[in-house]
Amino acid sequence: MSSNSTRESIRQQAQSAIFLNALMRPQSLTIVGLAVICWIFSVGFLGATSAIWLGFGAVAELVFVLATISDPQQNAEAVGRMFAQRYDVNEIRNQHARQRVQQAIEYQENIKALTQTHGGAMRLQIETTADEVNHWLEQLFKLARRIDVYESSDIINRDRVRVPNELQTLRLRLDKEQDERVKVELREAIRNKELQLSHLRDLETNVKRADVQLDNTLAALGTIYTQIQLLDAKSIDGRSTNRLRQEIVDEVMSLKDTLEALEEVQATGMYAVS
């Protein structure tokens, strides 16, 4: 999936979360409830039938929902809840990865909080940057989960110890074997075992890359947060904000590259995992 399509998917999910948040707020439920009660109990109004309450309720509900979904603070809270539900840091078993994701979430929350301290174009710029950070956090969470997949595989953990020993044993047998037919079989077994070991090493290398990427990403996110704090009204239309967003895009793409490399190795070969 491309960066643009992924971002559009997140935007659509956020819009759904914002709309549902508006519908489920106590004020919204009260409007609907009162309208239905007045209709059920046939409460008249200025000589009109009780059905008019359904019309009043529909109009009032529409006005309330439109007002709510245009409220930046309500939108931020709805999107925040969506991310909290979709990306539960407690699901990450690797302690190092879990800590890094938790720290990244804290940066994300602080960046969202900065939107409440500004207005106008400045606020819009920070909100746009916060949207990019949400995408960044999604990739970070996926990367942490991929590390979990690797570390929790009993087969992989077993073979990391067993395969090198088995390969060494096969090579020793080949050196001592005299029968040519047996040597042919041993050479084939060695080739298969070498391929298996190669897959294991590819996995291990990519997991190490992912672990380092978590640290790099957290450091970059901290830098981005500091830069956002330093933004002022003079810089919102200049190169500073454009450079800031480009840095975020670059970091997201770097995360995606690492994640895709790890997924490719984990999805193919003899150690395919979902």
User: Residue 272: which residues within 8 A CB-CB, separation 6 or more?
Assistant: 266
| pTM over the 0.75 mark | no
> Considering Cα of 125, then 77, then 247, then 228, what sign does the dihedral take?
positive
Question: Rg of the Cα trace of the chain?
Answer: 28
- Give 164: exposed, middle or buried? Use CB within 10 Å, 0-12, 13-18, 19+: middle
Tokens of 101: 């994701």
Q: What is the overall mean pLDDT for the chain? A: 77
Contact (Cβ atoms closer than 8 angstroms) between residue 252 and residue 216 = no
For the stretch 196-229, pLDDT in tens is 999 899 889 989 988 998 998 888 888 888 888 8
Contact (Cβ atoms closer than 8 angstroms) between residue 132 and residue 247 = no
What are the domain boundaries of the chain?
1-86, 94-274
Report pLDDT for 226. Answer: 85
Report pLDDT for 26. Answer: 74
User: Which of 137, 101, 87 lies closest to 256, judged by CA?
Assistant: 137
pLDDT range class, residue 273, cuts 50, 70, 90: low
Report pLDDT for 2. Answer: 46
Tokens of 217: 């990403």
Average pLDDT over residues 259-267: 73
With left for phi above 0 and alpha for psi between -120 and 50, is residue 260 left, alpha or beta? alpha
